[in-house]
Amino acid sequence: MKNIQFTSLSIAVFAASISTGVAADSVKTTQAEIVMKASFKDRGQAKVDRLNQDETQRLCSQYPDNRPKEIAKRIEAINLKLMKYPADGKLLGDWKEGEKIAQSGVGKQFSDDPAQPAGGNCYACHQLTKEEISFGNIGPSLYNYGKLRGNTDAIQKYTFGKIYNAEAYSACSNMPRFGHNGILTEAQIKNVTALLLDPDSPVNK
Amino acid sequence: MPYFKRTALAITLVAASLTGALFAATSSAQGNSGDATIKEIEKYRQALGDGNPAELWEARGEVIWKKPRGPRNVSFELCDIGLGPGKVKGAYAVLPKYFADTDKVEDLESRLVTCMVMLQGFKYEDAMKSPFGSPERKSDIEALVAFVTAESRGLKMNVIGNHPKEKEAFDIGKAMFFHRGGPHDFGCVTCHGADKQRIRLQDLPNLTNKQQAQRAYTSWPAYRVSQGEVRSFQWRLFDCFRQQRFPELEFTSQGSIALTTYLAKNANGGVLSAPSIKR
């Protein structure tokens, strides 16, 4: 897979790039964004403004791979700055509730009821427990996550942070920023953190 | 060997192989190997392929194609879907392409709407009314799509894409493929940018790989067993974006055709097997 390269530019767009000095890639992307916005419509909770990109999304779209190191560092820095840890200092919730969140793929689709809490759908991409054999592989296996790493304060903080905003640790990760983007609540993220770290959790059996 | 004995043996063998197949399916569902399950699903698909209900959509589509319709009482037989008026065989293999009469790049579904409006005299809103069918209300578009694509079965994808508007569509489609957004930061590339990825147990084709892009694109449209409907490529994109947590992709919109152009051209050389059958 190569970086996005564009070969043809319309005259109007070309003129725009001269006047602003913007690189051809992002100019063409702007044109694509105009077409995209005209091609989608609001439906349920999914409004067309979801196509607007923040800096992280824009940079990750622009550099799907072979990303320059300084770009990756910038993305991680932006997101690390936006990290919010629980005010009460407690990072571990109830692993049993965490397991339910890991199983549920509900949430944020236009076909979903926005009044219902969203799931994390962790099993879509990760192995977590021995019992659940229907798991995806877009992310690494998390079986024995806590057993291998221990349940120290530093690991708790890293784990909560990784679920809250994966981009702070790994630029352009495929993993959604569950806390930062408001998919899961703080309490839900604590429960998923417990699923990964609680010694009683099936993840660590 | 006496005849009756041979028959008895054959029956026993059939019974044994059926038991074997059932056992294999059960054990793989309970085992911890995803590969075995995927192999069983592949077998299931092949078995289903022998009697694909898409044939019913193809037959219905042929009737609709040949019947005089609309305010002007004209059939689709004068409709140009890529190779000239009335030419159906091989047309799907060259789509999407630029059409001078609309000055647009169009895919099959968009072209059917164009012919309903320009040739048959339907109002645009009426032509756009039922893009995707349900058990209660079947879609004429999906039946037509099944008929037209079946006429290209066995042919190689051959999207030329040299017209400036076709090149522009390809570039926009490519940018859309890599565009990450929404609450989950997803883009097409999240699930379809690397080899051997799965969501739960569902295999995901890497659409940046030539062979996988060919195999995936040429199997659409398809009869979806889980929905009991033939689904068009426009539906495939519509439902991918729903799962991507994006807003609704509008039927036959410029963006939908641009993304189709990108994916179709990347599948050039692949042999069309559509309408196929999927879970």
Q: What is the pLDDT of residues A15-25, one digit of tens each?
A: 333 333 344 45
Helix (H) or strand (E) holding B80: none
C-alpha A202/C-alpha A95 separation (Å) is: 9
Q: What one-character-per-residue DSSP string does A119-170 give?
A: ---GGGT----SS------SSPP-TTHHHHH---HHHHHHHHHHHH-GGGTS
Stretch B160-171: mean pLDDT: 97
Domain, as residue range, for B32: 1-51
Q: What is the pTM of this model?
A: 0.85
CB atoms within 10 A of CB B112: 26
Are residue B58 and residue B73 in the same domain, yes or no? yes
Stretch B185-198: mean pLDDT: 97
Residue B212 belongs to domain with CATH number: 1.10.760.10
User: Which residue from A72, A120, A115, A74 is spatially nearest to A97, judged by alpha carbons?
Assistant: A120
The answer to whether the beta carbons of residues A44 and B187 sit under 8 Å apart is no
- Residue B6's pLDDT band (cuts 50, 70, 90): very low
Q: What is the ipTM of this complex?
A: 0.87
C-alpha B248/C-alpha A53 separation (Å) is: 17
pLDDT of residue B31: 38
Whether residue B185 and residue A177 make contact (CB cut-off 8 A), yes or no, is yes
A103–chain B Cβ distance below 8 A for any pair:
no
Selected residues 17-46 of chain A with any CB under 8 Å from a CB in chain B: 28-29, 31-33, 35-36, 38-43, 46
Are residue B127 and residue B176 in the same domain, yes or no? yes
Whether residue B176 and residue A41 make contact (CB cut-off 8 A), yes or no, is no
Are residue B3 and residue B56 in the same domain, yes or no? no
pLDDT of residue B16: 36
The domain total for chain B is 2
Are residue B137 and residue B253 in the same domain, yes or no? yes
Helix (H) or strand (E) holding B86: none
Are residue B150 and residue B33 in the same domain, yes or no? no
Candidates A110, A132, A133, A180: best to mutate against B (most CBs of B within 10 A) is A133
Tokens of B193: 């940018």
Are residue B110 and residue B239 in the same domain, yes or no? yes
Are residue B179 and residue B146 in the same domain, yes or no? yes
Are residue B46 and residue B61 in the same domain, yes or no? no
All residues at 6 or more sequence positions from A18 whose CB lies less than 8 Å from its CB, including other chains: none
The letter for the amino acid at B168 is E
C-alpha A85/C-alpha B35 separation (Å) is: 40
Tokens of A44: 């349920």
The answer to whether the beta carbons of residues B144 and B54 sit under 8 Å apart is no
Are residue B141 and residue B113 in the same domain, yes or no? yes
- Residue at a domain's end among B29, B51, B73: B51
pLDDT of residue B279: 84
pLDDT of residue A27 exceeding 50, the answer is yes
Quick one: what percent of chain A has pLDDT higher than 90? 84
Are residue B148 and residue B256 in the same domain, yes or no? yes
pLDDT in tens, B253-262: 999 999 999 9
Task: Provide, as residue numbers in chain B, all residues whose Cβ is less than 8 Å from the Cβ of A28.
Answer: 171, 175
Quick one: what percent of chain A has pLDDT higher than 70? 86
The answer to whether the beta carbons of residues A166 and A175 sit under 8 Å apart is yes
Task: Provide, as residue numbers in chain B, all residues whose Cβ is less than 8 Å from the Cβ of A128.
Answer: none
Chain B CA closest to residue A183: B183
Are residue B122 and residue B142 in the same domain, yes or no? yes
- What is the end-to-end Cα distance of chain B in Å, rounded? 43
Q: Are strands B97-99 and B104-106 parallel, antiparallel or unpaired?
A: antiparallel
Whether residue B184 and residue A7 make contact (CB cut-off 8 A), yes or no, is no
Q: Which residue has the higher pLDDT, A86 or A8?
A: A86
| Partner residue facing B208 (CB), from A1, A7, A124 | A1
The overall average pLDDT reported for chain B is: 88
pLDDT of residue A12 exceeding 50, the answer is no
All residues at 6 or more sequence positions from A11 whose CB lies less than 8 Å from its CB, including other chains: none
Candidates A36, A51, A53, A175: best to mutate against B (most CBs of B within 10 A) is A36
Are residue B88 and residue B183 in the same domain, yes or no? yes
Distances (CA, A) of B46 to B34, B40, B216, B223: 19, 10, 16, 13
All residues at 6 or more sequence positions from A186 whose CB lies less than 8 Å from its CB, including other chains: A84, A86, A179
Stretch A159-175: mean pLDDT: 98
pLDDT of residue A40: 98
